[in-house]
């Protein structure tokens, strides 16, 4: 059943989202790392609106480390939690410079040891930039894993990640995590998901609970 279920999920995602990719705009690892940090509790589209001017004025960790906090806040004021995020990207930049000589680490242990860098941010950097097999779990991925009964509501984010890795152990996690994010963003939405034409509804706890007979 597990093999058939995983195959069905993969086939369906390949069918509807064959070209899914990271929707944050970036050109190097500095821009990726800062963008991912800024994307917490907001949309990629919102981040993409502020980063062009931010990166134009501050094009490196060194620039951000010495940037006046008031100017950073002004750049980020359209984002939620912009004051916290302004301080966070400044702190992260200082740590990258002082502890790692301006080079972003390429392993989960060192990345998550940086204040302000959680496991999801670290995993995105690893899978997106370093092409390391990792499985970032954001809000969309978490929701889908629970709805498709790969994980449960009681699982921690770490446990959800481990269950996804095991369930899809022989697949390209980079591609799949982008597909799951897009699926959650545009199809299996938190509110009003598009269930009627979904080929995964037989596996979906949400559909089973809400469908009308």
pLDDT of residue 54: 98
Domain limit, last residue, from 128, 145, 172: 128
What is the chain's pLDDT, residue by residue, as a tens digit (213 residues)?
566 899 999 999 999 999 999 999 999 999 999 999 999 989 999 999 999 999 999 999 999 999 999 999 999 999 989 999 999 999 999 999 999 999 999 999 999 999 989 999 999 999 999 999 899 999 999 999 999 999 999 999 999 999 999 999 889 999 999 999 999 999 999 999 999 999 999 999 999 988 754
Nearest-angstrom CA–CA distance, 49 and 37 = 15
Which CATH number does the domain housing residue 96 bear?
1.10.340.30
pLDDT of residue 121: 95
Nearest-angstrom CA–CA distance, 201 and 196 = 8
Q: Does residue 153 share a domain with residue 123?
A: no
User: Structurally, how many domains does the chain consist of?
Assistant: 2
DSSP of 50-100, one letter per residue? HHHHHHHH--SHHHHHTS-HHHHHHHHTTSTTHHHHHHHHHHHHHHHHHHH
Q: What's the pLDDT tens digit per position in 38-51? A: 999 899 999 999 99
Task: Tell me the whole-structure pTM to 2 decimals.
Answer: 0.91
Which CATH number does the domain housing residue 188 bear?
1.10.1670.10
pLDDT of residue 51: 98
**Residue 106: domain span:** 29-128
Q: Does residue 171 share a domain with residue 145?
A: yes
pLDDT of residue 213: 46
Q: Does residue 110 share a domain with residue 49?
A: yes
Domain limit, last residue, from 128, 154, 169: 128
Domain limit, last residue, from 128, 159, 177: 128
The secondary structure element, H or E, covering residue 126 is: helix 119-128
Compute how many other C-beta atoms are within 10 angstroms of the C-beta atom of residue 53: 11
pLDDT of residue 170: 83
Could you list the active site residues? 120, 138
pLDDT of residue 1: 55
Residues whose CB falls within 8 Å of the CB of residue 123, separated by 6 or more in sequence, listed in order? 108, 134, 135, 136, 137, 161
């Amino acid at each position: 059943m597990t093999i058939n279920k995983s195959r069905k999920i993969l086939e369906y995602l390949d069918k509807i989202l064959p070209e899914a990719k990271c929707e944050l705009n970036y050109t190097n690892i500095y821009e990726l790392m800062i963008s991912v940090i800024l994307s917490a509790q907001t949309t990629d589209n919102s981040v993409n609106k502020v980063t062009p001017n931010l990166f134009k004025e501050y094009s490196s960790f060194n620039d951000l480390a010495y940037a006046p906090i008031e100017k950073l806040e002004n750049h980020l004021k359209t984002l939620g939690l912009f004051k916290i995020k302004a301080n966070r990207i400044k702190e992260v930049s200082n740590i990258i410079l002082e502890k790692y000589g301006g080079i972003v680490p390429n392993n989960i242990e060192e990345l998550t040891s940086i204040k302000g860098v959680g496991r999801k941010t670290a995993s995105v950097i690893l899978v997106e930039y370093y092409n390391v097999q990792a499985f970032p779990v954001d809000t969309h991925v978490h929701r889908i894993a629970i709805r498709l009964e790969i994980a449960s509501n009681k699982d921690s984010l770490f446990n959800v990640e481990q269950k996804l890795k095991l369930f899809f152990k022989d697949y390209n996690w980079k591609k799949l995590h982008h597909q799951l994010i897009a699926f959650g963003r545009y199809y299996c939405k938190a509110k009003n998901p598009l269930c009627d034409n979904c080929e995964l509804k037989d596996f979906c706890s949400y559909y089973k609970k809400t469908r009308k007979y």
